[in-house]
Chains A and B, each alone.
Chain A
């Protein structure tokens, strides 16, 4: 079981970003990477970390895609967001990121058919900087792939099972070389600590920039979590003071987070409940048939304001590959010559048009008044963060 996150009253939460954004709209989203003397180590117990400040990063259970493990789904129904403390340090040559999260049990992959190891992952965009849209947070998208560093608690406490991979959407994770990464994972006193360490410069993925987006995911083996059953964060930022600050990129990433971007929360709630609840599940309005569109109950944790705005105005800009259509047989249609039912298109979230472009089944809401759009984004960004 995970510890539940302290629930903040709506009013307080709404007030927080305004206060923070007076100085810097990204303040609550950014980890200051500590500049330290090298060499860095992948040891999660290294004394260095005691003096490095942490950013609390909320992570939400993945509910966009439903998987079919009965035990995992039972645990998922009761799962709540959790806070991952993120710290980072650099010696100019390497970058180390430490994740620190609560988990009352130490679960390791072992010689069993139904045991799952506690795991953690760090996700970086393959391309970032001014002019580059952030990848879809769930394993990237075809236009913006991601690099993934994963580690899992295995039988050997000193050496986690680890891998480096690239992905461009759900289910596309493919092992790849991406920097000579090192890993370390340690459980003590009801918390995991996991270190991800890699060179700043690596072929095809150079991190020597002032602002580096990242996202994290953690898996709880006791809840049968693996693969898509996990808790994931939204995109956050590492600020590396050693490299030139990219003001233009900072301005792009601030979109939707500045005081002038904020909309009317009550109006947003009313609009979203009226317009979106036919297909999407919302925390206090669960009328849609599960599976026909992404569950938005905790979307405020995993999305950015810019992504939400784009999803409303232009849903086909990034199309999340929906549930595997092979999961659903269409029994209203005749069986094929091979005696198999055809796949049901009812559960597909997109279709491919004549030119080969993937079109979301969600209609674009391109002509919303700007104030209404801002209000909807403001409301959606609170989802998952309030009880």
Chain B
């Protein structure tokens, strides 16, 4: 629980799976020192196994009574995929290009596989970062109290000086968005680019998104488009709310798409290419209401009427998507005060 909560909304109707967010994150944070296998931001194809592979079956989160559920720590070889290199040197001298290892699983192994048979095949992309939950499973599990949630923005961080690499947090995160660094023997995770946020900038994944699918703002800031999408229009929903951690990344669900085709190639009126039941399994029962709102606003627009919701989702101006107050100091909050000071007090820390 924190005084304020920074949140992100991602519109899955606009995600093209280009992985620019993934690369922005990787080049910023995870390309070195034991983090090579980690994807703090990944984009997975749904329906699909996701990353780490079949993460939804690995436990964690809270049960109906409110107690932490046991979970599994994923393995590098079977679930994350061991990073590999290509024979680029040999290839430059004429050899056939190929991986230097035998490949079994990787971070995006089932990309674009999706589900269904032609002509009714379907898939959509699901970008995932740490949900910076209001009730983080990782924080609840850490026996050392090494994980904390910042009061000023709700960002969940691992205190690297307290962390001993015990990995109970990894078992406890139902989204498997906290990772073990075997080189440093510490747990590490998405930090919501807090050094950027503290300068008034959105996280790198949101800044670099070419599809303009990501909004960033405070949930209690009525002026932010994040708050409007989540609270006013209620078209952005948390992933797997049943895990009980109260995630703070919200998704505009994909519209069920064009109708299915029958055996003779004719569209079946009223049918859904992406089964809504599948979307419900990801985003909960609220998904039907969100889809109904999206569809009715789309019809409004088609009639030539104004729709503030669609204008927001189109994101004419990139800068409007982010509402992150810039601290007056312009610099980082001093290290010792990052967990405790509210935004209002940041200026005093000068």
Contact = CB atoms under 8 A, between A and B. Distances in A.
B66 A344 contact: yes
Interface in B168-197: 168, 170-172, 179-180, 182-183, 185
B327 interface: no
Contacts of B139: 326
Nearest to A174: B162
Given A70-B59, A328-B67, A331-B65, A171 B144 contact: yes
Interface stretch (B41-49, B70-78, B96-104, B290-298): B70-78
Nearest to B180: A113
Given A327-B67, A341-B66, A114 B74 contact: yes
Interface residues of A, number: 38
Given A112-B76, A112-B182, A340-B134, A70 B67 contact: no
Contact of A328 (B66, B145, B166): B66
A317 to B, nearest CB: 23
Given A113-B73, A328-B68, A339 B134 contact: yes
Nearest to B164: A227
A110 B77 CA distance: 13
A73 B244 CA distance: 22
B247 to A, nearest CB: 10
Contact of B143 (A70, A111, A115, A228): A228
Contacts of A329: 62, 66-67, 135, 244
A71 B76 CA distance: 16
Contacts of A367: none
Interface string A41-67: 000000000000000000000000101
Main secondary structure of the interface of B (DSSP, over half): loop
A341 B135 contact: yes
B22 interface: no
B309 interface: no
Given A68-B60, A111-B182, A113-B182, 14 more contacts: A68-B141, A68-B168, A68-B171, A69-B171, A70-B72, A73-B70, A112-B77, A112-B182, A113-B75, A173-B144, A324-B143, A328-B67, A328-B140, A339-B246
20 contacts: A67-B168, A68-B141, A113-B73, A113-B167, A114-B74, A114-B167, A171-B144, A173-B164, A324-B141, A324-B143, A326-B140, A329-B66, A338-B1, A338-B5, A338-B134, A338-B154, A340-B246, A341-B66, A341-B135, A347-B67
Interface of B: 1-3, 5, 37, 59-60, 62, 64-77, 80, 134-135, 139-145, 154, 164, 166-168, 170-172, 179-180, 182-183, 185, 244, 246
